[in-house]
Amino acid sequence: MFRKVLIANRGEIAVRIIRTLREMGIATVAVYSDADREALHVRLADEAVHIGPPAPRESYLCIDKILGAAKRTGAEAIHPGYGFLSENAGFSAACAEAGVVFIGPPASAIEAMGSKTAARERMIAAGVPVVPGGNADTVEEALTTARRIGFPVMVKAAMGGGGKGMRLCMHEEDLERAVERARSEAQKAFGDGKVYLEKAILKPRHVEVQVLGDKHGNVVHLFERDCSIQRRHQKVVEETPCPAASDELVREMGEVAVRAAKAVDYCSAGTIEFLLDQDGGFYFLEMNTRLQVEHPITEWVTGLDLVREMVRVAWGEPLGYGQEQVTRRGAAIEVRVYAEDPATGFLPSPGKVTTLVTPNGPFLRDDGGVYAGAEVSSYYDPLISKLSVWAPTRALAVERMRRALGEYVVSGIRTNLPFHERLFRHAAFVEGRYHTGFIDEHKRALLRGEDEAPADEAALAIALAVAVSRKQKRVEPIAENSSGTSPWLAQHRARLLR
């Protein structure tokens, strides 16, 4: 097994990888920019190497500096985490050239799935269902494609992901502007302004299937995750099982996902993403050739450590189990705790974390990357942590998450914790009735609590008392929905502001 591994990342994912490597008896090397000198991942690693200024292109995205750090420290392998260089085929190839093992898929698989347009063609050839679509290299070509597949359409960046370079276009007269805006955003985000069109599936669910393959041709799926609660096409809540998927549908999606992975000779952990329509039809969206942010909920229900499995596969070990040996139990939910303000459209809220109290209790996990006194930098994604829970049933998991959120305290910066608390009391979410447009559909209730009016005069009096307390003590109470909850609980959940 490897003796030393470098983690080419930062924040919570670097911390999470370090912990598994330590359990495996593998020495760890962190890398850090000027902005991350005091970061948690730097403190936890056995060694740390400075790689440059805060800007990612001068540090975490600089292949030469990452490989130089590996060479200086004698690291035999590199784990890229997610984001940054994790889906960069050139980085995977450069690692191979330098004699360093890339803990992830081969460059050929990353390249095959890196371009969404090329991936669509490959998936069609493999018999994987895809959303009807086509090219949009020019405005005229985009118009031809849109007329063929029918409006509404989604304009999408051919490279990259994370909701960048995406525009929904409902009418023909708006297409040119949508294409131009998507191209501009894609160019800035990925250095490639190429876009394409897909038929827009209205009110779909975003359901993904975790796959895991080894270097011996074995591939299994680890069931599905529902990632439909999104803002700006970026996930904020994930759960498994999907509330809308039957066992038969999950089995079918899993088989298709394995077929898709085998079509590119995939090994390591990866994710096949689908759109699930309201009639139960599903369509290939893209493949993420890396570890996903939301992998903890799959670990909760399967009992597998995905980072450990990635390391084993990279070392050359076979999976050691087939699809029939992979089982799951119970339900798991994850929320992403961000330094951002939901009331202002989820704008980032960087700054110093002055207080941080994370929840505890049975079947609860907080994958964090900051500590009290740490800075949430404006240079990087403002993720504070990923809070996840497990329970025998979805209903119990929702209750457990609700309790955990009530114990989570962060001060010094604004966070999306109030949003999560409202979400987990929203009747439609609690019943599992949601889709990718759920947040936009319930903006007033979820972002500002404006629909959550007191039910009677007694409740009104309580609300006024809390409002006065809020003004005097500068605290932000978490609004409850109209179903009503204990005023003492509402008071307990007050959050300090800057």
Domains delineated in the chain: 4-103 (3.40.50.20), 132-199 (3.30.1490.20), 205-430 (3.30.470.20)
Give the model's confidence band at 233: pLDDT under 50 very low, under 70 low, under 90 confident, else very high: confident
Give the model's confidence band at 272: pLDDT under 50 very low, under 70 low, under 90 confident, else very high: very high
Mean of the per-residue pLDDT values of the chain: 90
pLDDT above 70 for 496: no
- pLDDT 10s digits, 85-98: 999 999 999 999 99
Give the model's confidence band at 450: pLDDT under 50 very low, under 70 low, under 90 confident, else very high: low
Q: For 114, left (φ over 0), alpha (ψ -120 to 50), or beta?
A: alpha
Average pLDDT over residues 369-393: 97
| DSSP letter (8 states) at residue 173 | G
Give CA separation, 285 vs 57, 197, 223, 388, in Å. 28, 12, 17, 25
Instruction: In whole angstroms, give the CA distance from residue 445 to residue 422.
Output: 7
More confident residue, 247 or 469: 247
Residues 6+ apart with CB under 8 A from 441: none
As given in the structure block, the two tokens for residue 392 are 């025998």
- pLDDT 10s digits, 178-199: 999 999 999 988 889 999 999 9
As given in the structure block, the two tokens for residue 85 are 């260089």
Helix (H) or strand (E) holding 438: helix 438-441
pLDDT above 80 for 443: yes
Task: Report the range of poorest mean pLDDT among 162-176, 398-412, 444-458.
Answer: 444-458
Using H for helix, E for strand and C for coil, what is the string for 322-373?
CHHHCCCCCEEEEEEEECEEHHHCCEECCEECCEEECCCCCCEEEEECCCCC
- pLDDT 10s digits, 152-164: 999 999 887 767 8
pLDDT of residue 455: 37
Instruction: In whole angstroms, give the CA distance from residue 481 to residue 425.
Output: 6
Instruction: In whole angstroms, give the CA distance from residue 481 to residue 261.
Output: 43
Which residues are known catalytic residues? 290
pLDDT of residue 21: 98
Give the model's confidence band at 494: pLDDT under 50 very low, under 70 low, under 90 confident, else very high: very low
pLDDT above 50 for 169: yes
Helix (H) or strand (E) holding 464: helix 457-473
Q: How far is CA 253 from the centre of its chain?
A: 20
CB 78 within 8 A of CB 50: no
Average pLDDT over residues 209-217: 98
pLDDT above 80 for 454: no
Average pLDDT over residues 314-328: 98
Q: Whose CA is closest to 364, among 339, 390, 338, 342?
A: 390
Tell me how crowded residue 184 is: count the other CB atoms within 10 A of its CB: 12
Instruction: In whole angstroms, give the CA distance from residue 424 to residue 154.
Output: 29
As given in the structure block, the two tokens for residue 132 are 């009807």
pLDDT above 60 for 314: yes
As given in the structure block, the two tokens for residue 79 are 């784990």
Phi, psi for residue 87 in degrees, rounded to 5: -115, 30
Instruction: In whole angstroms, give the CA distance from residue 148 to residue 484.
Output: 50
Q: Whose CA is closest to 298, among 269, 336, 264?
A: 269
